Amino acid sequence: MNGLTTDKIDTQALVDRVTTPAAGAVVLFVGTTREFTNGRQTASLDYECYEEMAKKKLSEIEQQARERWDIVDCAIVHRLGHVPLAEASIAIAVSSAHRAVSFEAGRWLIDTIKEEVPIWKKENWADGTTEWVHPSGEKRA
């Protein structure tokens, strides 16, 4: 399951969705709005997307993860629009029989989403300026 929302992400609902008797492990990744980036203060973020393609890419990436790992279930939600400090912009829940698969698949999912899905974030800096974030090639940790 994957989707886009302008509402606050209910991370517990995502965990509940992938938690089944077949799973012995559930890993939840939550990406949140950080206040300081290289010493610069963020007031909030705004996300926009190319909706049709973002939905398609999310589904493709989820399907690839399901083919590559023996996961029980997985759920991905990305938030759009205005995201205040410390709130979640993305949440990924993965369940599997044993923990290694959930950790590996979850790590791969967030890394791949950050490279492939047409979603963009705008920094609303605390000084009142705004700036679209466009990574220039080097992979971010």
Structure tokens at 102: 């959930």
Q: How far apart are CA 77 and CA 57, in angstroms?
A: 13
What's the one-letter identity of residue 125? W
Tell which one of 10, 114, 125, 126 touches other proteins (CB under 8 A): 114
**Does 50 sit near other proteins (CB under 8 A)?**
yes
Q: Which range in 11-19, 35-43, 95-103, 111-119 contacts other proteins by CB under 8 A?
A: 111-119
Tell which one of 48, 73, 87, 104 touches other proteins (CB under 8 A): 48
Inter-residue contact 94 to 18 (CB < 8 Å): yes
Tell which one of 13, 53, 82, 84 touches other proteins (CB under 8 A): 53
Q: Please, is 104 exposed, middle or buried when counting C-beta atoms within 10 Å of its C-beta (0-12, 13-18, 19+)?
A: middle
Please report, as ranges, the residues that interact with other proteins according to CB under 8 A. 31, 47-50, 52-54, 56, 78, 89-90, 110, 113-122, 132-137
